[in-house]
């Protein structure tokens, strides 16, 4: 027999007056899904106010202003073309997830791809200067290592501070670092946890602790001009916290990267490297979310450093590494001479979870490039910090990172 309207109204009043505790059984717990079905968890979330549109408009306006004042003559033509292209962009159509809305000119954006050949060359010059040809001896060593892996025991074992397409260490040192990297790969290839059958079962934490972190440590160990501490502690980024709390009434937590690379200078810890990683199996949404999170972290990082000192433009950059599945991507965000952030996708490689010669060489190249970039970064940063002791930076601007709703 159908329920009467009066009965339905009575049941509605009773349910609305009950608390979560009223729905719980005497012994045990009811699931959250079940509680939602009962509509007992009808709790309103208090979202922070959204000022993103105003911030985007202000950022685009500031970007246009900066493009009117190039930092060097060589950038004049490039800046003019970029400003003209910006005139066709409606700020109201941009979101906080768009690099342009955050004043970042990224090398894979349509804005850069549509530049003329000479203008694009000028824009990409800092990226190209960070790339180096890998020595033949390192390439040969990779081939020999993979070839003999199953049959023998493998040994496991300046002041030029600018990027100029040259390595900052001797070939002997590059070979030594490559041996450490290959040692980590050898352990990985011998680990049954990462055999093809069980790879999908491994958590993100296992992937980071057993493979990603050892690879990064093998690359960045024994730097001659400042040790990089790689931390996986569940700690918020100070650079992100500073950005999120600029002008905030209530304190907000900063982002928590999966790994941070820290340089200690005096009583300061400076964040020079951020890493975001997935599990070995990565969804497209996770890949996209981490990509956005990473360039936002690097932008906060370079803005945080800018408030302390002024490293050389087009040279010093904050490094961001994304691991999506088995693909490792090396990115660098640096400010040009006009103070505009440029985001470069410097290199990418597949992480070989089993012996694979070409993937091994590509990964070694990426990790040696990372080491080279960090050597330059350390030198430039320490010099800038020393200069800032007597000449503190002026006209400090907050990070242009647009607020997210999260």
pLDDT digits (tens, 9 = 90+) for 211-221: 999 999 999 99
Q: Which long-range contacts (CB under 8 A, 24 or more apart) does 243-247 make?
A: 243/300, 243/303, 243/304, 243/398, 243/399, 243/401, 244/403, 246/398, 246/399
Structure-token match 């650079």, residue found:
239
pLDDT in tens, the chain (406 residues): 455 545 544 455 544 444 444 444 444 444 444 444 444 445 455 656 667 889 999 999 999 999 999 999 999 999 999 999 999 999 999 998 999 999 999 999 999 999 999 999 999 999 999 999 999 999 999 988 888 765 543 222 245 589 999 999 999 999 999 999 999 999 999 998 888 767 878 889 999 999 999 999 999 998 877 789 999 876 667 666 566 555 554 555 557 899 999 988 777 889 999 999 999 999 999 999 999 999 999 999 999 999 889 899 999 999 999 999 999 999 999 999 999 999 999 999 999 999 999 999 999 999 999 999 999 999 999 889 888 887 776 666 667 878 765 5
pTM of the entire structure? 0.73
Residue 113: what pLDDT? 94
* Beta carbons within 8 Å of 373's beta carbon, 6+ residues apart: 130, 163, 317, 319, 332, 346
For residues 125 and 115, give the distance between their C-alpha atoms in angstroms, rounded to a whole number.
14
335: part of which helix (H) or strand (E)?
Answer: strand 327-335
For residues 79 and 84, give the distance between their C-alpha atoms in angstroms, rounded to a whole number.
9
What count of Cα atoms within 13 Å lies in the side-chain half-sphere of residue 294? 31
CA distances from 362 to 158, 178, 291, 326, 402 (A): 26, 12, 21, 13, 35
Return the structure tokens found at 403: 């607020």
CA distances from 121 to 74, 107, 114 (A): 11, 11, 12
Closest CA to 112 of 342, 315, 329: 342
**Helices in 39-193 by DSSP H: which ranges?**
52-67, 76-86, 110-113, 117-129, 136-148, 171-189
DSSP-assigned beta bridge partners for residue 343 = 106, 333
Whether residue 112 contacts residue 336, with contact meaning beta carbons closer than 8 Å, is answered with no
CB neighbourhood size of 369 (10 A): 21
Buried b (16+ CB within 10 A) or exposed e, 124-162: eebbeebebebeeebbebbeebbeebeeeebeeeeeebe
For residues 385 and 28, give the distance between their C-alpha atoms in angstroms, rounded to a whole number.
58
CB neighbourhood size of 172 (10 A): 8
Structure-token match 């007056």, residue found:
17
Whether residue 328 contacts residue 349, with contact meaning beta carbons closer than 8 Å, is answered with yes
Which string of DSSP letters, residue by residue, matches 244-265? HTTT-SS--PPP--SEEEEEEE
CA distances from 259 to 52, 323, 363, 365, 381 (A): 28, 11, 19, 21, 20
What is the chain's percent helix, strand, coil content, to nearest 5?
A: 50, 10, 40
Burial bucket for residue 72 (CB in 10 Å: 0-12, 13-18, 19+): middle
φ/ψ region of 290 (left if φ > 0, alpha if ψ in -120 to 50, else beta) reads alpha
Structure-token match 């800038």, residue found:
384
């Amino acid at each position: 027999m159908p329920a009467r309207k009066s009965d339905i109204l009575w049941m509605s009043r009773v349910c609305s007056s009950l608390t979560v505790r009223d729905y719980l059984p005497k012994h045990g717990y009811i699931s959250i899904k079940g509680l939602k079905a009962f509509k007992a968890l009808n709790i309103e979330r208090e979202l922070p106010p959204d000022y993103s549109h105003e911030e985007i408009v202000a950022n685009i306006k500031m970007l246009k202003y900066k493009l009117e004042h190039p930092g060097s003559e060589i950038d004049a033509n490039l800046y003019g073309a970029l400003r003209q292209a910006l005139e066709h962009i409606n700020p109201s159509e941009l979101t906080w997830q768009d690099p342009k809305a955050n004043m970042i000119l990224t090398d894979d954006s349509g804005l850069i791809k549509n530049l003329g050949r000479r203008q694009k060359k000028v824009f990409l010059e800092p990226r190209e200067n960070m790339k180096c040809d890998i020595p033949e001896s390192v390439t040969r060593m990779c081939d020999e290592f993979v070839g003999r892996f199953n049959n023998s025991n493998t040994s496991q074992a300046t002041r030029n501070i600018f990027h100029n397409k040259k390595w900052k260490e001797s070939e002997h040192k590059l070979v030594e670092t490559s041996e450490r990297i290959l040692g980590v790969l050898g352990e990985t290839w011998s680990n049954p946890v990462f055999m093809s059958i069980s790879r999908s079962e491994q958590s993100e934490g296992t992937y980071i602790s057993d493979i990603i972190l050892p690879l990064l440590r093998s690359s960045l160990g024994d730097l001659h001009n400042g040790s990089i501490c790689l931390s996986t502690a569940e700690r918020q980024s100070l650079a992100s916290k500073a950005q999120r709390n600029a002008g905030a009434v209530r304190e907000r937590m900063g982002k928590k990267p999966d790994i941070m690379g820290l340089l200690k200078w005096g009583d300061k810890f400076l964040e020079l490297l951020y890493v975001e990683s997935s599990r070995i199996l990565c969804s497209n949404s996770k890949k996209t979310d981490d990509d956005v999170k990473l360039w936002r972290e690097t932008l906060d990082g370079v803005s945080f450093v800018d408030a302390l000192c002024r490293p050389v433009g087009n040279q010093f950059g904050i490094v961001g590494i994304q691991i999506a599945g088995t693909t490792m991507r090396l990115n660098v965000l640096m400010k040009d001479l006009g103070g505009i952030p440029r985001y470069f996708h410097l290199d990418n490689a597949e992480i070989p979870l089993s012996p694979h010669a070409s993937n091994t060489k590509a990964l070694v190249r990426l990790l040696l490039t990372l080491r080279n970039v960090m050597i330059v970064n350390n030198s430039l940063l320490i010099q800038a910090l020393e200069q800032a002791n007597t000449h503190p930076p002026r006209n400090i601007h907050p990070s242009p990172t647009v607020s997210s709703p999260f």
